[in-house]
Structure 1
């Protein structure tokens, strides 16, 4: 996931995915180009721009508050939350583990829509006060739309399709009844896919009815929900399949290493172009320093390859890319996701013993499936 750090709130790191910018400017353009001019004619273009910017920013602030509510309840339940990432259609709390009970899952999921309803009530109250007091049409327009949008957000999130909050509430209910998280997730994911097809179908109908912008939005949202339902279920299956599997079972032992003083030009010519590996551990004697990846080198201008060394480009061991042979593979998945490197170095007593990559995990899961082993 391509994202950058925005800051932190109460210890939760806030990151913004690049896809967020696409939706941000689409929503901004919709407000400025059609919504506000169509509903509040006669105002200046500058006023429409200010209304659009303020409404869009406060809408995403509302989404952030929605996600923060999930994170605060998860933390209260003993679930470690690394932070929140805002992306195309909202946000997601990055947790290190699933809820341990159906009750915890229900409370964590349920607080999000309640927060959106509370925000809708707040803006609705401001709209009512502003209308009664004769505030500016621009101010009342912003508060009125924010009240409506947050109410719609709460209702949409309550649809019983995973991974929406309503789908998580549904999953928690099925989990409580069956006692089986995987089965509950599968059923909730089916619900998510069903609703995604309904939303896409409604979008197609609106397209043929002449409501092109509305139709495209619905198709886009339905497509996203469909992919999210698939991804969420597959993620659970992978985690369940790797539960109890140790790093030593999947690692490639004694990987080839490179020295820290090697120039990038030599690294490319002698290693990346001659061998199949996409990354190499960096060692100095018996001491592990970090890892150098092909993507890391690609980010460096070619004219610097002759003068820049591996030590100046590598990802250091302090950045969470190290694991122990006896560690559970589910922990490795979390480290890969947190570091973005897609591989970890296996170390015992400070010495490099092996490496595990995302491809190693995928190959192991594929072999297990081909041999007829039950996944999860």
Structure 2
């Protein structure tokens, strides 16, 4: 399953702080950073095990175990290459439409294209969402053609088995993704159509979200039928997928509401003013012992006199081997202010959110003429939104 999304790398839902997928960088293709979420390994080995012990031995009996393992490894890797091609088609077209794309992340349910903004017109949304299933269909047809050629010219059974599998799985991928359930590609196509008809992006998203939740509930119901019918593994997977779809649909809409509510709000309204700072000459051991162990904060601005020079977070410290803490300083570990970790007090929260996502620190410093004015964290945003609810103000 592939989901084209504005940004699932950092997602704020139910007025809680963001949830960041734990991922590592794999490389770069066409200028897009390719990252792999740790959850991807679960589905990778599950597919590998299924192909090696079930699908290929059942469909092509009589081959050696080594052959089945080789078929499983090649089939699994090429399946994920297909998923990557699917996401690349989204990203390439989005970039052609002027939408900045940071990269692609592969995770347990396929992949997401990490973009900095949504499509600006229903036509762009329709095209960017629709290109994914078309790419999967093209891959299915190509693999089907290779299978047909292999059958007629006498290629090895193992080769034909892999091409047949890839043709089938990519066809299923194309069909599944065109279902009108947001945030699947088909759900985004549906939103584009609703957007065109209503002329209201937010209303169209709400309509598409209802469709996504209904599809998720339908898949859960199908999973329950499978479960009670004795197909336990299939049933559990369908329930899991259905739950994920329904949750992702609602989360995407909540994310839109949050961004709409914050649109036009200046950073000064959400910041915690004049936060506690640390000096750059502290050792990391002193920082941990005197600050992190006695404060509730996970990050501190770093200041020299009246001038802020950077920000240090607990995660940055944890990346340094513990035996080096006594010798390495805050200055050597911090993210300097020049790295885009600061905003102006009058800067709009839409830009603040973008900088928080780009820095991956979940916080930014608010500065004016080099002087620290405040700090904004994910928790500050969540509390501000909650206060609006508490006083009876609905999100936009």
TM range (shorter): over 0.9
User: After superposition, what is the alpha-carbon deviation per residue over 1:198-223, rounded to whole angstroms, capped at 9, x for unaligned?
Assistant: 11221222122222232222122112
Unaligned runs of 5+ in 1: none
Correspondence for 1:290 among 291, 298, 310? 310
**1:74 match:** 94
Select the residue among 305, 317, 322 that pairs with 2:325. 305
1:302: Cα distance to partner? Answer: 4.1
SS in 2 for 1:217: helix
Aligned match of 1:316 in 301, 324, 336?
Answer: 336
Counterpart position of 1:84: 104
**Candidates 178, 182, 206, aligned match of 1:186:** 206
Q: Distance in 2 between matches of 1:33 and 1:215?
A: 20
Distance 1:136 1:228 in 2: 42
Residue in structure 2 matched with residue 213 of structure 1 by the alignment: 233
Paired position in structure 2 for 1:144? 164
SS in 2 for 1:100: coil
* TM score, norm. by length of structure 1: 0.96
Give 2:345's aligned residue: 325
Hey, what's the Cα distance between the residues in 1 that align with 2:341 and 2:105? 21
Partner residue, 2:46: 26
1:108-149 per-position Cα deviation (integer Å, ceiling 9, x unaligned): 101111111111110010000001111111000000010010
- Distance in 2 of aligned mates of 1:184 and 1:43: 52
Structure scoring higher RCO (CA < 8 A, sep ≥ 6) equals 2
Most deviating of 100-109 and 296-305? 296-305
Aligned ranges 1:93-132 → 2 under 5 Å:
93-132=113-152
What's the RMSD between the two structures over aligned residues?
1.5
- 1:57 and 2:77 aligned: yes
Give every structure 1 segment of 4 or more consecutive aligned residues whose post-TM-superposition deviation is greater than 6 Å. none
Deviation at 1:186, TM superposition (A): 1.4
Residue of structure 2 aligned with 1:228, choices 228, 240, 248: 248
The correspondence of residues 8-19 of structure 1 with structure 2, limited to 5 A, is 8-19=28-39
Alpha-carbon deviation of 1:275?
Answer: 2.7
- How far has the Cα of 1:299 moved from its partner? 4.0
- Count of residues in Structure 1 that have an aligned counterpart in Structure 2: 376
Task: With the length of structure 2 as denominator, give the TM-score of the two structures.
Answer: 0.91
Give the equivalent residue in structure 1 for 2:363. 343
Quote the residue 1:41 is aligned against. 61
Q: Alignment partner of 2:188: what SS?
A: helix
Task: State the alpha-carbon separation in 2 of the partners of residues 156 and 150 from structure 1.
Answer: 10
Q: Does 1:133 align with 2:160?
A: no
Deviates more, 1:278-287 or 1:190-199: 278-287
Deviation at 1:177, TM superposition (A): 1.2
2: CA distance, partners of 1:59 / 1:317 = 42
C-alpha distance in structure 1 between counterparts of 2:254 and 2:290, whole Å? 38
Runs of 5+ unmatched residues, structure 2: 1-20
Counterpart of 2:195 in 1: which secondary structure? helix
Residue 280 of structure 1 corresponds to: 300
